[in-house]
Amino acid sequence: MQGDLSRPSRAAVEAVLRGLSRELGEHQLFTDPDLLEPYGRDWSGAEPVLPDLVVKAESTADVQVVLRAAQTHGVPVTPRGLGSGKAGGCIPIGGGIVLSLERLNRIKEIDRENLTVTAGAGVITADLMQEVEALGLFYPPDPNSLKICSIGGNVACNAGGPRALKYGVTKNYVLELEVVLANGEAMMFGKRTIKHVTGYDLASLIVGSEGTLGVITEVTMRLVPKPAAIQTALVSFTDAEAASLAVSQVIAGGVVPRTLELLDEEALSVIRKKTPGRFPEQAGALFILETDGATEERAFEDLARAAELCQKAGALEIQVAQDAAQRERIWEPRRILSLTLTESAEAKISEDVVVPRTQIPQLLRAVRRIGAKYGLRTATYGHAGDGNLHVNVLFRRAEAELGQKAVEEVLKETITLGGTISGEHGIGLNKRDFLPLEHSLPKLALQRALKATLDPHHLLNPGKILPRRGPTE
């Protein structure tokens, strides 16, 4: 898949390195293959590719230096936060420079009056959350990778998480971004004010652009007051279809929980073996229901109402956590589920599709049918409340081709159901050739034109998001 981009010449790499050595410190430039190796991979499972050099920027000015030098010498640049991406977005498939933002890790300001936080792109998301929570504030987007990803990476991928159901995703919190364009020019996009409608919304264009349109160096994000109380319950159903029908009933019943996470039969069976005794015997599928509020009464009121709606929809049993330890006991299996599924098979492809929540039962049925057609195990779990499900196809290495075919059918079925092929992880490298399933040729052409305007020499994270050109383009 990676073979369609040629690497820069040795002379170009040496010239860019000479140029960078004049303007940056030695401690910022890395060419030793052992040190380059971790910067050639992410968590996507895509084949790693060694960059020619890694540059660790320590300021916006450093990022400008790198992009100008790259342009002068025609060397590609792949921006990288902390490398937790699941789409291959930060794999430097054209070689050249990996531009790491990990050292831009300072929280500059938390503004309690205006409810904003301003931070370097490399700040670890969990650190940002912790700092604002210590002041009674809350940054809600909560990717499960929050301890190993950066806030800049979250903006670049428009990350979401379990709490998206109630609070939205990263884009709903972006106010202002400092961005360095491919030509090295630094610009501020967006505004720190809550309202802002002057000109095109360039900050929104950068959100989710996966490092292909500009390098994010600093972010200002909106905050909300920290909810004082949380209530958590484990709700069991006979099967995943019954559970998914209950999802729509809860929302239609007027409750918007903070999370509504589903585990289907296979996901539950795999995690049961790892964490025995945690789940009711008769449960065929589960969801984790969580509400929050400014007071204990408010959070409990919402939980009670949601529980009542679940019972009406056929829930077998509802266990409400009585303290933090019980809450953790409910969440822990969900947190380790992805890894546990990986361990349960020789190979796994995990998708992050989204369908309108009323279509979840149809999606679950389609996944089961596709699994049966190819004779492969499937396990589905995730953020059912917002229709974003992690569909996992599990197979033996020898069945890799069947696995790919099954995944392609799942993606097609998702589109048929009115959904989208990625709700969280982005397109990056792994899903770029599936983009035409969802975007028409004119829409792809418009995006190619945007890319060419912002990055005319195609040096910024080349080969990502946009598919290789088909015969009809």
Q: How far apart are the first and last CA of the chain?
A: 19
Question: 118, 121, 140: which is closest to 129 by C-alpha?
Answer: 140
Choice between 144 and 414, CB closer to ligand FAD: 144
Count, residues near ligand FAD per rule CB under 6 A: 38
**Least gap, CB of 394 to ligand FAD (angstroms):** 17
Question: 230, 227, 259: which is closest to 324 by C-alpha?
Answer: 230
The verdict on 430 binding ligand FAD (CB under 6 A) reads no
Question: 187, 283, 185: which is closest to 238 by C-alpha?
Answer: 283
Choice between 78 and 378, CB closer to ligand FAD: 78
Question: 21, 23, 82, 86: which is closest to 53 by C-alpha?
Answer: 21
Choice between 12 and 149, CB closer to ligand FAD: 149
Choice between 89 and 403, CB closer to ligand FAD: 89
According to CB under 6 A, which one of 19, 95, 140, 161 is a site residue for ligand FAD?
161
**Least gap, CB of 402 to ligand FAD (angstroms):** 25
According to CB under 6 A, which one of 19, 92, 94, 160 is a site residue for ligand FAD?
160
Place of tokens 């990022």: 63
What sign has the CA pseudo-torsion 271, 277, 278, 279? positive
**Least gap, CB of 24 to ligand FAD (angstroms):** 17
According to CB under 6 A, which one of 94, 96, 227, 428 is a site residue for ligand FAD?
428
**Least gap, CB of 249 to ligand FAD (angstroms):** 25
Choice between 83 and 403, CB closer to ligand FAD: 83
Write the interaction track for ligand FAD spanning residues 371-400; mark x where CB under 6 A is met and - where it is not. ------------------------------
Q: Which parts of 177-230 fold into alpha helices (H)?
A: 202-206
Residues 191-210 interacting with ligand FAD (rule: CB under 6 A): 210
The two tokens of residue 202 are 């360039």
Residues 76-105 interacting with ligand FAD (rule: CB under 6 A): 78-86, 89-90, 101
Choice between 101 and 315, CB closer to ligand FAD: 101
Q: Which residues of 119-150 are buried (b: 16+ CB within 10 A; e: fewer)?
A: bbbbbbbebbbebbeeeebbbbbbbbbbebbb
The verdict on 153 binding ligand FAD (CB under 6 A) reads yes
Choice between 92 and 293, CB closer to ligand FAD: 92
Q: Are 360 and 389 in contact (CB under 8 A)?
A: yes
Distance CA 29, CA 238 (A): 57
Residues composing the chain: 473
**Least gap, CB of 306 to ligand FAD (angstroms):** 22
According to CB under 6 A, which one of 60, 116, 145, 378 is a site residue for ligand FAD?
145
Question: 337, 397, 389: which is closest to 361 by C-alpha?
Answer: 389
Distance CA 297, CA 291 (A): 11
Question: 436, 433, 439, 440: which is closest to 463 by C-alpha?
Answer: 433
According to CB under 6 A, which one of 7, 163, 258, 425 is a site residue for ligand FAD?
425
The verdict on 138 binding ligand FAD (CB under 6 A) reads no
Choice between 83 and 227, CB closer to ligand FAD: 83
Distance CA 461, CA 96 (A): 10
Count the Cβ atoms, other than its own, within 10 Å of residue 65.
Answer: 21
Stretch touching ligand FAD by CB under 6 A, among 11-19, 112-120, 157-165, 412-420: 157-165
- Amino acid identity of residue 147, one-letter, is K
Distance CA 100, CA 432 (A): 23
Question: 467, 464, 455: which is closest to 213 by C-alpha?
Answer: 455
Choice between 82 and 318, CB closer to ligand FAD: 82
The two tokens of residue 95 are 């070689």
Q: Are 230 and 327 in contact (CB under 8 A)?
A: yes
According to CB under 6 A, which one of 215, 306, 407, 411 is a site residue for ligand FAD?
215
Stretch touching ligand FAD by CB under 6 A, among 108-116, 283-291, 411-419, 424-432: 424-432
Distance CA 286, CA 243 (A): 7
The verdict on 454 binding ligand FAD (CB under 6 A) reads no
Choice between 89 and 227, CB closer to ligand FAD: 89
Distance CA 34, CA 118 (A): 34
Chain residues that interact with ligand FAD, rule: CB under 6 A: 42-43, 78-86, 89-90, 101, 121, 143-145, 149-150, 152-154, 156-157, 159-161, 210-211, 215-216, 338, 424-425, 428, 461, 464
